[in-house]
Chains A and B, each alone.
Chain A
Amino acid sequence: MTDRKFTPHLREGLGARPEEFARSTCFEGGYLTSVNAGWRSLRPLIDPVQCTLCLNCYMYCPDGTIFKVRDGEGVCAALAIDYDFCKGCGVCAKVCPVPCIAMVDERGDGEVAAGISGVSTERVLQRREQGLMSCSPKRGLSERIEMSETPARKDAEGGAA
């Protein structure tokens, strides 16, 4: 089937055995589709160095494809995207406050698609140079990450709330 990659289908092996799953309409959650990603023409890339772990993208992703990568102590160390389900809608890039998510051509040309989310590599570098990155990307969830255009205000609040 030519459109196999574009339509969700049962996880491998299960599709061969309807006599097992078709006896009721109740089944273990998350199993029924293995891939639903052929809809993308752009894919999001999170820059892990710039990422402040604010979790905006994680919260806003309409398909819940962004997940936490935890370190040895169970602390969230980075965010990653499940490209099996990401549909390339660009909401994550739009809501990223850094911003450090770029939308690139799915065909892998590597070109950053400007104008889709307002994110560009130059802008990310600019903010870094201007010292507007206020924290290390490796903080855990227990520390609230504050992003601010005015370093003075941040000092007044003591940096953590």
Chain B
Amino acid sequence: MLEVIWHARGGQGAFTAARCLGAAAALSAGACALAFPTFGPERRGAPMRAFTKIDGAPIGDRSVVARAGIVVYLDETLLDGSWDAELADGGLMLLNTRRAVDDPRVVAIDADGISAAVLGRPIPNTVFLGAIPALCDAVSLEDVHEGIRATMPARLHEKNVRIVDAAFEALASRPDLPHLGGLGQRGGDSGTGLFDLAAAVLLEGEGSEA
């Protein structure tokens, strides 16, 4: 299973991105996905998180992600020293920043800059939707396009697709870009033991298809 944690402040569009990624996986990539935010009252500027889970089989565990294959920080001010407690082994942290980061687990992306160049305004959330297909195989760029079309109002499709494409190209052209294999886990083994078992059970076990 690929799990993604999105960190942002209310109003920055983290949940929209989480949903869009889930839609990309579920509607286009033929996977199963869940997307949800931290639940509760909110306001603009309040720190929040959103979550996307992607797997080959229906996902029964709806609890908050503890450790994720990808952790995204849309807002650098939310980063503190213990950020890697949320990162699974072999996972990657994507950080919206202009500065260079000397940590192989961190992919620094000037998301504000990329979106400003395309749109004239910093809309960092969509940039990460373009970065993720460059970093793992869970969803392709086309899947993300489909996710955008399914999630966002029509008048925003073209702009967001352009940002996504620009971000993808910006990343794909980097030398030594890290990569998460398979369903997102680095090395290609997506913890297949349990997944294969679940798949086998679905074929032969009791219970509804609900």
Contact = CB atoms under 8 A, between A and B. Distances in A.
Direct contact between the two chains A and B in their complex (CB within 8 A): yes
Contact of A39 (B46, B49, B85): B46
Given A41-B77, A106-B77, A107-B77, A3 B45 contact: no
A38 interface: yes
A6 B78 CA distance: 9
A5 interface: yes
B137 interface: no
B74 to A, nearest CB: 12
Size class of the B contact interface (CB-based, 8 Å): 10 to 19
Given A2-B83, A106-B77, A107-B77, A41 B45 contact: yes
Nearest to B40: A7
A7 to B, nearest CB: 8
B47 A6 contact: yes
A81 B78 CA distance: 22
B45 A2 contact: no
A87 interface: yes
Interface string A103-147: 000110000000000000000000000000000000000000000
Interface of A: 2-3, 5-7, 38-39, 41, 87-89, 106-107
11 contacts: A2-B86, A3-B47, A6-B46, A6-B78, A39-B45, A39-B47, A41-B75, A41-B77, A87-B45, A89-B45, A106-B77
Given A2-B82, A6-B78, 15 more contacts: A2-B80, A2-B83, A2-B85, A2-B86, A3-B47, A5-B80, A6-B47, A7-B47, A38-B47, A39-B45, A41-B45, A41-B75, A41-B77, A87-B45, A107-B77
Interface of B: 9, 45-47, 49, 75, 77-78, 80, 82-83, 85-86
